[in-house]
């Protein structure tokens, strides 16, 4: 098969290599494009990238939800919140006491300590109840969101496993 001769811009370079390419493909050389498509399946790459990003970013938060039951996870976070709320209330009370020192001392010296303690405990219980309610709602939402994301992650892993199984390119 003669190779066309290039004369002053009459024929593009691809015509020179066209007979060579056709000879290679017909003489038993594998079709490189089909092989590359099989090796680099774009759907697999996208799925693997999505799964890797999940593991890197959200996997740490979701691993807590995987290790704990829902009630245990929320109870643990509420215990931590109870301690933090108590410390926060003591600090707030201390700031209030420093700011309103004179009325506080008169209430203590007037022998009306029972009403003072009653108001203090009522404020503490109200503060703690609101804090723990918010904590329970927030961590319940976080747990459910982490579980949904874990289910989606495991679905992606199963889908990737099936893709490798369908291609027959799994390593055994």
Q: What is the pLDDT of residues 66-122, one digit of tens each?
A: 888 999 999 999 999 999 999 999 999 999 888 988 887 787 777 677 887 888 899
Q: What is the pLDDT of residues 3-58, one digit of tens each?
A: 444 444 444 444 455 555 555 555 455 555 555 555 567 788 888 888 888 888 77
**How deeply is 164 buried, as exposed, middle or buried, from its count of CB atoms within 10 A (0-12, 13-18, 19+)?**
middle
Q: Is the pTM of this model over 0.75?
A: no
């Amino acid at each position: 098969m003669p190779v066309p001769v290039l004369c002053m811009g009459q024929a593009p370079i691809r015509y020179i290599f066209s007979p060579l390419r056709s000879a290679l493909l017909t003489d038993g050389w594998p079709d490189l494009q089909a092989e590359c498509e099989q090796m680099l399946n774009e759907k697999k790459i996208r799925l693997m990238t999505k799964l890797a990003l999940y593991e890197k970013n959200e996997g740490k938060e979701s691993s807590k939800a995987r290790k704990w039951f829902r009630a245990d996870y929320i109870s643990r976070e509420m215990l931590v919140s109870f301690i933090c709320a108590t410390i926060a209330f003591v600090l707030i009370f201390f700031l209030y006491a420093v700011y309103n020192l004179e009325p506080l001392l008169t209430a203590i010296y007037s022998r009306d300590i029972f009403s003072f303690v009653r108001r203090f405990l009522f404020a503490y219980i109200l503060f703690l109840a609101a804090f723990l309610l918010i904590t329970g709602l927030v961590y319940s939402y976080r747990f459910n969101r982490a579980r949904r994301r874990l289910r989606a992650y495991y679905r992606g892993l199963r889908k990737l496993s099936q893709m490798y199984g369908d291609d027959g390119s799994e390593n055994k």
